[in-house]
Structure 1
Amino acid sequence: MSGETVGQVDAKAPSEAKKSKKNRLSGGFFRFVLTRFLLIIPTVFILVTVVFFVMRATGDPISAAQGGRLSPDELQRRIHAAGYDRPLIVQYGDYLLKLLHGDLGTTLTDNQPVSSILIHYGAATFELAVLALVVALVVGITLGRLAAKHRDRPSDAAIRIFAILCYATPVFFLGLVLKLVFSSSMGVLPSSGRSSLESEMQFGRLISPTGFYIIDAFQLGDMRVLGDVLVHAILPAVALGLLTAGVFIRVVRTNVISTYSSGYIEAARSRGVPEKRLLSKHAWRPALIPIITVMGMQIATMLAGTVLTETTFEWKGLGFMLSQYLKARDFVAVQGIVILIAVIVAVVNFIVDVVCALIDPRVRY
């Protein structure tokens, strides 16, 4: 009887140990996710604080936007009505309180709620960023893996030169070159805007447009409108996407080469595993961690690049409006747009951390 009991205990021990290990790993992962999520709060708070005080460094927003257009008495009246003559710390506390209630203020130049500006134009920027990211991933991963496969060959050298050119070329200059070649010279692609006037009129028929023209085109069920939207997106998406693709090419090439020459790859090669499988399976996944990390950091670069890209192609998104509000010195609108971009960057970095932890459990500790 005692022997059977001991046998049963020995049989249960491995399964209980395995279950305990699984629970421990799950607990570690969720603690990691919770910690990274909570770090978003102080990050956004610091960014909001810095943006607020930097914007106030040159004076109150009304004087900056309307100083030369109003009489001194009218200017002072508006400053007092908006509360900008109060102590700065009081204005800061009031601004934080409004932020907690989702109130980002009202633009000074066109008297619109900043939140409505973010919703209306944010969709255009997000759509452009997604399309540009697709271009960057397709070009960066494809050419990066190809360069790693043909290391130190002429094709590898050509791809590396291409990557340097992509990264070093200013996005507005690349945009102008693309417009000159494909719009002015060849006349095959439109040079500006998100769609043609005819498509804009079609979007006006929608009862509840999303602001994402690709989605709205599907709502219309008109493939001509969808084609028109995609054609207008090609040049700005390529211009912005190639900027990031240059970084992806170098990162993918470096990390794939590093894992491709490691010991376990050599062991798999000695067992007769085909080179194509070595590259596509054994060397690729370990190289994903630094690649995904860099991709997350490049989101910030891409969002910064949207300002120049949208201005170059007159793509009316947040970047385009940010440049317009900067010219008008509308610091309330600029402040709201910058804060939204900061929040997006913080959330994207959180998502990148979670994805890295799912791929490699060592990241959690």
Structure 2
Amino acid sequence: MSTALDPEAEDTPRRTRRRASGGLGRYILVRFLLIIPTVLILMTMVFFLMRITGDPITAALGGRLTPDQLAQRRAEAGYDRPLIVQYFDYLGGVLRGDFGTTYTDNTPVTEVLTTYGAATFELVVYSLVVALLLGVPLGMIAARTRDRWPDAVLRIIAILGYATPVFFVGLLLKLVFSVGLGWLPVAGRLSTSGQITMSTILNPSPFSLLDALRLGDTELLRDVLGHAVLPAVALGILTGGVFLRLVRTNMIGTLEMQYIESARSRGVAETRLTTRHGLRPALIPIITVMGMQVAMMLGGAVLTETTFEWNGLGYMLAEYMKARDYIAVQGIVMMLAVIVALSNFVVDVIAALIDPRVRY
């Protein structure tokens, strides 16, 4: 007896796969296009807010030049024109990759971004590593000891972690590990000897860790990582507390599911249940919120870099704001906005790949 295959039944899985791939592609495209208005709105807000107190030349050089010299400089830079004309002129420069030149040190803003942006990127990566190393294991312990004293202690630690100001944590770490114990450097990205060694590199990259690895100099590598420990811990604690609570909450929910109870009844070890079956679902929320945590870290980087004199975008942003160099501030804020927007885009794509429900 022969049976005829239903063509519509055969096409159903194919149509489902095509619809799913189309949904993912459309989702990625929409999320990427949303970066443009996000950055544009923030750039526009910064541009106009920075000019509430006057033009950048008067703000940066007022008191050091005569009124006639200021008027001449303002006319040369085009700041005597209507504000809306200046805005579209600045927007056109940004589209050409020209962010202007700083007034305090006469440096192209693009050079400031490439030179100091790498330092901030390194700090954020180090801090994310610290946050994951702290938040994930401690969150697993809190979930396994739910409603017992270790869980209560860890929850208090998590609250203190993301509630304590990052500059206060940084100062405490410096007092204990640098001033008191003398184990770690108190500030900076490199020691004087490390800077001399770095200056011998041909075609250096903006990443100190990468250059140290290229040289294969263990002493220089120790110097780079030693200077990064305290800033990374100070900033990583902020996010580590958030990760701890996320892992704890989601792992508790996972460990109470039916398939976990079935595995437990068959005699599967509790450690195996936690690490193999409970951890992976608990990590998904961490991935989904990591974009927001990058934004928090960039905000905290301003205070962290200032506390540890870590010459990154945050440190330079504080310096340029003190000097009222609005051109530099605009460029740095826009670069931070782009980093946050791209981070959220990458996180959204990863979340869509892990959980197809995110696409719809």
Does residue 242 of structure 1 match 2:232? no
User: Quick check: 1:168 aligned with 2:180?
Assistant: no
Q: Give the letter for the 2:218 counterpart.
A: M
In structure 2, the partner of 1:319 is 314
Distance (Å, rounded) in 2 between the aligned partners of 1:287 and 1:181:
34
Output one character per residue of 1:44-92: Cα deviation in whole Å (capped at 9) or x when no partner: 1111111111111111111111112111111111111101111111011
RMSD: 1.6
Q: Verify the 8 A CA contact 2:177 2:183 in the aligned structure 1.
A: yes
Per the TM alignment, residue 156 of structure 1 is displaced from its structure 2 partner at its CA by 0.9
Q: Distance in 1 between matches of 2:290 and 2:268?
A: 30
Q: Post-superposition shift, 1:326?
A: 0.7
C-alpha distance after superposition, 1:156-213 (max 9, x if no partner): 1111111112112111111111111111111111101111111111111112111111
Structure 1 gap segments, 5+ residues each: none
Which amino acid is 2:146 matched to?
R
8 Å CA contact 2:246, 2:282 repeated in 1: no
Structure 2 counterpart of 1:154, from 149, 157, 162: 149
Letter in 2 for 1:246: G
Pairing of 1:60-71 with structure 2 (within 5 A): 60-71=55-66
Matches within 5 A, 1:105-124: 105-124=100-119
Runs (5+) with no aligned partner, structure 2:
none
Could you tell me how far 1:279 is from its partner in structure 2?
2.2
Paired amino acid for 1:216: D
Q: Is the 8 A contact 2:126 2:232 kept in 1?
A: yes
Q: How far does the alpha carbon of each residue in 1:292-339 deviate from its partner, in whole angstroms, 9 at most, with x for none?
A: 222221111101111111111111111111111011000110110000
CA contact (8 A) 2:58 2:70 kept: yes
Alignment equivalent of 2:203, drawn from 199, 208, 233: 208
2:13 aligned residue: 18
Give the TM-score, by structure 2 length. Answer: 0.96
What SS is found at the alignment partner of 1:287? helix
Paired with 2:279 and 2:353, the residues of 1 have a C-alpha distance of 16
For 1:85 and 1:214, locate their aligned partners in 2 and report how far apart those are by CA, in whole Å: 46
Retained in 1: the 8 A contact 2:140–2:247? Answer: yes
1:354 maps to 2:349: yes
8 Å CA contact 1:307, 1:319 repeated in 2: yes
Scaled by the length of structure 1, the TM-score of the pair is 0.94
Distance 1:85 1:206 in 2: 46
What is the count of residue pairs matched by the alignment? 360
Q: Distance in 2 between matches of 1:124 and 1:192?
A: 14
How far apart, CA to CA, are the structure 1 residues paired with 2:17 and 2:161?
Answer: 45
SS at match of 2:136: helix
1:59 corresponds to 2:39: no
Q: How does 1:160-309 map to 2 (within 5 A)?
A: 160-309=155-304
Structure 2 counterpart of 1:129? 124
Q: 1:49 aligns with which of 16, 36, 44?
A: 44
Q: Distance in 2 between matches of 1:280 and 1:361?
A: 24
Q: How far apart in 2 are the matches of 1:208 and 1:244?
A: 35
Distance in 1 (alpha carbons) for counterparts of 2:260 and 2:97: 53
Which residue number in structure 1 is paired with residue 340 of structure 2? 345
Report sequence identity in percent.
Answer: 62
Instruction: State the 1:15 CA deviation.
Output: 5.3
**Contact 1:131/1:237, CA 8 A, preserved across alignment:** yes
Task: Measure the CA separation in 1 of the matches of 2:262 and 2:97.
Answer: 57
Aligned position for 2:30: 35
* 1:26 CA displacement: 1.4
Distance in 2 between residues matched to 1:208 and 1:217, nearest whole Å = 13
CA distance in 2, matches of 1:266, 1:37: 41
The answer as to whether partners of 1:248 and 1:295 remain within 8 angstroms in 2 is no
164-173 vs 100-109, which deviates more? Answer: 164-173
- Off by >6 Å, runs of 4+ in structure 1: none
Residue 102 of structure 1, aligned match among 91, 97, 101: 97
Matched residues in 1 for 2:202 and 2:320: separation? 29
